Amino acid sequence: MTETTIGRVADDVKGRVLRGLALYRARGEEIVARPAGGYSVPSATREDRTYRVCLVSGRCGCEDSLRRTRGACLHVYAATLAEAKGRKA
């Protein structure tokens, strides 16, 4: 892996962390623990949409997460923040 590639991956991760933080700040109260496990996290772009996030596996039901082979999507970061803030049901 070249230095340029590492920089690009770091920027990619940073962007998703910041978008996850923005989502948590905007709609954090909508991030709720699901009875079956994991969290329900609202979409950052679609009002009517929520995704199921599993913090144990670090996976999410969104298109970004399904395409991704490593790293987490912004919903996983948002759910991680919600859990850290003690919003567990």
73 touches Zn ion by CB under 5 A: yes
* Residues 81 and 28: beta-carbon distance below 8 Å: yes
Residue 60 binds Zn ion, judged by CB under 5 A: yes
Measured in whole angstroms, the distance separating CA 15 from the mean position of its chain's CA atoms is 12
Q: Is 59 in the site for Zn ion (CB under 5 A)?
A: no
Q: Smallest distance, Å, CB 3 to Zn ion?
A: 29
Q: How far is the CB of 10 from Zn ion (least distance, A)?
A: 20
Does position 81 bind Zn ion by CB under 5 A? Answer: no
The two tokens of residue 41 are: 């996290």
Quote the least distance from Cβ 84 to Zn ion, whole Å: 17
Residues 24-38, buried b or exposed e (16+ Cβ, 10 A)? beebbeebbbeeeeb
